[in-house]
Each structure stands twice: as C-alpha cells, then as structure tokens.
Amino acid sequence: MKLSHNLRAVRVVWQREMIRFTNDRLRIVTSLIQPVLFLFVLGTGLSTITTGAVHGVNLRTFMYPGALAMAVLFTAMFSAASIVWDREFGFLREMLVAPISRWAIVVGKCLGGATTASLQGVLILALAGVVGVPYSLSLVLTVFGELLLLAFTLTAFGVMTAARITQLQAFMALNQMLLMPLFFLSGALFPLANLPGWLRVLTRIDPLTYAVDPVRRAVFAHLHAPAAVVHRLNPGVTWNGWRVPTWLELVIVTAMGVAMLGIAIWEFRKAD
C-alpha cells in the first residue's frame, strides 16, 4: 500500500475533523463556557478571599494557564468522542474497510483533534490582556506550541480509550471520571509547592502537570512581578528538590502522546 495513499487519507480525515469543527458553532461556544466561568467567575470569587490579589499577582492571572489547559482538554476529548459516534452510525466501519492502512485513520483523527483543540485554546489565549497577562508575540507562539503538543497528547489518549468503546455514554462517563482528577491535580488551581506528601505524589504522577507547568512558566516569564513572588506562585515541578526543566516536561508530554498513539494504532488494527 503506497505511502502517498495513506498520507492522503490522513489529510482527508484531518479535513473532515476541521469541517465538523467549523460547522458546529454551538460546540465552539459551549466549549468556551467552562474555561471562561473557571477564569472569571471562580477566579473573581476567590479573589475576594485574597483581597483581589495573591502577593501582588491577580488570582485570575495565576489561574490563566489552567483555563488554557481546560479549553484544550475538553475540546480534545470531544474530538476523540467522534470515533464512538462514527462507530454507532456505521461510518467508522466504512473507513476501516477502505483500502488504506488503519494507522492513517488514527493519525488523521489525532491531528484533527489536536488542531481543533489548539484553535479553541487560541480563543482563550486572546483574553490574556483581560487577566493581566501582557500580549507578546513570543508568548503567543510559545504557549500555542505547548497547547498544540498538549492537544495532540490528549487526543491520542481519547482515541486510545475510544478504540474499544461502543457506546458514547460509556465513553463520556469514563472520561468524566478521568479528566476532572487529572485537571485538579495538575496544579491549575494551586502552586505545586508546600503540599502534603500524598498530594505532592499525586501531582507528580499526573501527566497533565507536565503540560500545565510549561504554560505557567511562559506566562510568568512575561509578568512584571518580583522574583520572590514568581518563585512562590510558580515553583515548578520538582523531583526531590530538583526543578524539572521545561524541555524535559515537554519531552515527557511528547513521549506520552507518541506512546498512546502507538497503542491506539495497535487497537485499531485489532478492531473489527
């Protein structure tokens, strides 16, 4: 089977995901509701406890990286859910019997989900100035690249879990059970320092932690705040006192995405 045919299939599947996303305006709007509520309602409400700021940094500014991750998280998983939807309506079977390799379907789905989820993150990224984060081309490019990597990994995770699930309700229930703990343990709501031992362990084994922290580092690098404040609010991920560098965090996220993509391809090869 020619590689060119498979690459064309990847492009077709990717285009189908993009068309589905752009035509579903209600999906775009509803996917923004949770991160916006999280950022402005929860952030503003909690600010009343801290008199509007945390060590000179607005609480909404601190929570902004978490809102970006949330926007990507739910959009990526919704994209992966389309596999279960396609299976229920028979479209997936038509793709599986097509004269193409099944890895092309999986890669196309993952790239399509990563693209749509990243675009959803860009909408939240446009609100940076509203929450006290200065607009900067380098910040936008850095964060967009990190969100794209996160979106790919999350979509690969969703495709991997959807490969064997036949009912959409079961898929949504499973991911709801997994996504919220992953999000709350990622450090989106609190700094990763001075935590109880059991919570520190859970945050370190949460894969989403290694995606949220690079985004927060990029955001705080563009803030005009004292070094002591930045260190307290952005302590980073540490292993036995050693702060994990950004490049290693991104390597971890990439490795997880590639591993889950490989598992998803293997599962689809076994699918009927």
Residue with more model confidence, 244 or 228: 244
Longest dimension (CA), the chain: 64
Percent of the chain with pLDDT over 90: 25
Q: Tens digits of per-residue pLDDT, 169-207?
A: 777 787 778 888 888 899 888 888 888 989 999 999 999
Q: Average pLDDT, whole number, for the chain?
A: 84
Whole-angstrom Cα distance, residue 126 to residue 122?
6
pLDDT of residue 36: 82
pLDDT of residue 211: 93
217: Cβ contacts below 8 Å, ≥ 6 apart: 234, 236, 246
Average pLDDT over residues 51-66: 74
Least confident of 93-97, 221-225, 231-235: 93-97
pLDDT of residue 142: 94
Considering the entire predicted model, what is its pTM? 0.87
Top mean-pLDDT range of 42-51, 158-167, 212-221: 212-221
- Name the token pair of 154: 């999350």
Residue 246 — very low, low, confident or very high, per pLDDT cuts 50/70/90? very high
In the predicted structure, residue 53 carries a pLDDT above the cut 60: no
Residue 255 — very low, low, confident or very high, per pLDDT cuts 50/70/90? very high
In the predicted structure, residue 114 carries a pLDDT above the cut 70: yes
In the predicted structure, residue 96 carries a pLDDT above the cut 70: no
pLDDT of residue 52: 46
Q: 3-class DSSP state for residue 271?
A: coil
In the predicted structure, residue 109 carries a pLDDT above the cut 70: yes
Average pLDDT over residues 104-123: 88
Q: For 223-251, give one letter per residue: b (16+ CB within 10 A) or e.
A: bebeeeebebbbbbbeeeeeebebeebbe
Residue 92 — very low, low, confident or very high, per pLDDT cuts 50/70/90? low
Fill in the amino acid letter for 47.
S
pLDDT of residue 60: 84
186: Cβ contacts below 8 Å, ≥ 6 apart: 66, 69, 203, 206, 208, 209, 211, 212
Pick from 57, 209, 74, 202: nearest CA to 134: 57
Decide if 68 contacts 147 (C-beta within 8 A).
Answer: yes
- Name the token pair of 96: 């599986």
Average pLDDT over residues 118-131: 88
